[in-house]
Every structure is written in structure tokens, then in C-alpha cells.
Amino acid sequence: MITNTFTDTIQSAIPVGGSVTIIMGTINTLGGGTLNISAYTGYSADLDNNNDTINASDDIIIVPNPPSGLGGQRCGPGPIVISAVGSDTIYWFDAASGGNLLFVGNTFSIPFLSVTTTYYAQTGNVCTGQTRTPVVAAIADLPLVDLGPDVIASDSTTLDAGAGFVLYAWGPNGQTTQTITVTATGQYFVTVQDANGCFNSDTIEVTINVGINHVSAVDHVSIFPNPVHNKVSVELSASRSTNVNLEFMDAQGRILKTDMLRNVNGIQQRSYDLTHFAKGVYFMRLSSESGTSMHRFIVD
């Protein structure tokens, strides 16, 4: 209870239905409580105050301090949890003032979030205009790692996970460098970690043609010029008649051009227009009933 006494005198009569405002002093209400007000009029002819006294009572509510917030962080979109602690129940809003009430409780579990968002926590719901604490739910982007399309190579190939990561972990062989050299056919994958502590992975299929140096029915194969500009010539030499299937492929193994060379016996030469081939590394695969060979060339 807050107790204080003020005395003042109204110097003139108050008309019927009228009112008067009197400012008599200041009462400290910081501690809250109940404010009881009692006012009466005094007449010399009527000393009984009970019949001319007005009583009023007001509750003084203390506005609680803003809560302490604990934000959350995750890598990539998904569920996230943030929390706040205060002297009363926590109310969560989407704005620093006004806005929409989203949740009531200390721990706010957000089922899905794709971008960093600030929420506002309020201690209790005592009055309008209470100070709210901003609490951030941070979404960090996943690191971008791309090993590119699947690869076909004649001897070996280099896989590059990209620069700027704090951790590299390759499988299945356990290397921890940005690049690795692959000499065997198989599936390879890498997991990277960025400065935010976020991880991401990529996988690639690699085909290495190792130890297949010639088609047994073909004694000699020559590609010229190499590097190629617009047109390439292929020369085959065979000691006995055989049919040879020729395929031009890009580094991802896609077949771009084919030709069937029938009854190759002795030296046979063909020219092919490659003006529609983009600059890069390509392969020519020769196949016959006796075997297969892969030959690498560059289009410049």
C-alpha cells in the first residue's frame, strides 16, 4: 500500500455536474502496490465527514524488465529453436512494437525457417509499449561444393572441391586436400566445411580406362593434328580385315559422333569435321570384336 496525505482547498463552488482538477504532489509508484485515494469536503456546519467522502483505489503494476534472449543458428533451411528467460511468462512477437503474437513460452520452436529472421521476446503482457528483446534465428547458407559432371578419362583425372573451405574429407580414400588425383574407376565423394561450421557434400562417378592400349585387330591408331582445330584425321592400320566402330565422346562420356569402319585391312584414314565441338578434352573410342581402346585428344 502507498500512503501519502495531501490537503488542498477549492476556493470556489463547483457547479452541479462540473469538475475540478487539483495537482497536489507526487507519489513514488516504482515499487508497485495499491493506491487508495480518499477525499472529503469540510463544512463548519457539518463535522461528520462520512457523508461527504469519496474513496477510490488503483493498482500500480510494475512493468517487468525485458527478458534475456538466446538466439539459434542452423546450416541451411529447416527447424530452429530460440529461447528467452524473464521474470514472467515470455510472449513472442514478429515486431519490436505492436505486431503479431506468435507464441507464448520460454522456448520458441520454429518448424521451418529458410532465411535469418529476428523475433521479439516480451516479459509478461502487462501493458502496451513494453520493451521487447530482439532474438535472432540465423540461417547460414550451406557451402557450395560441385565436383562437376561424371568423368571418363584415359589414365587419370584431378577432382577439385573448390577453394576457401576449412575442411576437406574425401571418400573412399580419406584425403583431406582441396584436390585429389584419381587413377581408378569408381564413385568419389567429398565433404567440405566452411567458416560458419556448415557442411555439404558432392559425389561424382569416374571411369578410368587404364591398361587398354590397343584393339588387338588394329595394329596402329593415330589422331592428328592434336590439338584439333575444326577437323581431325584418324589413321588406322590393321594386318587383317576387321570392322571397327568409332565413337567421339566428351569428358562426361556423352557420345557426340559415331562412324563404322568396315573391313579395315592395311592403312585406312578418315577425316571428321569437329567445328561444332567446343574447346576442351575429348576421347575417341575404338571397338571391334577383339577389344576396345580409348584415345584422348584436345579441341583448341
Q: Where are the domains positioned within the chain?
A: 1-62, 68-140, 151-208, 220-299
What is the pTM for the complete model shown? 0.60
Is-contact 250 280, C-beta < 8 A?
yes
Task: Report the distance separating Cα 200 and Cα 143, nearest Å.
Answer: 6
Tens digits of pLDDT across the chain (300 residues): 556 666 777 777 778 877 777 776 777 776 677 777 777 666 666 666 666 777 888 777 788 999 999 999 999 999 999 999 999 999 999 999 999 999 999 999 999 999 999 999 999 998 888 999 999 999 999 999 999 988 877 677 899 999 999 999 999 989 999 999 998 888 999 999 999 999 999 999 888 765 445 555 577 888 999 899 999 999 998 888 889 999 999 877 889 999 999 999 999 999 999 999 999 888 888 888 877 888 888 899
Could you name the CATH architecture of 220-299?
A: Sandwich (2.60)
User: Cα torsion at 140, 145, 146, 151 (round to 10°)?
Assistant: -150
CATH superfamily of 68-140: Immunoglobulins (2.60.40.10)
The residues that bridge with 188 in the sheet, in sequence order, are: 204
E strand spans, 174-219:
179-182, 186-193, 199-208
Place of cell 529476428: 118
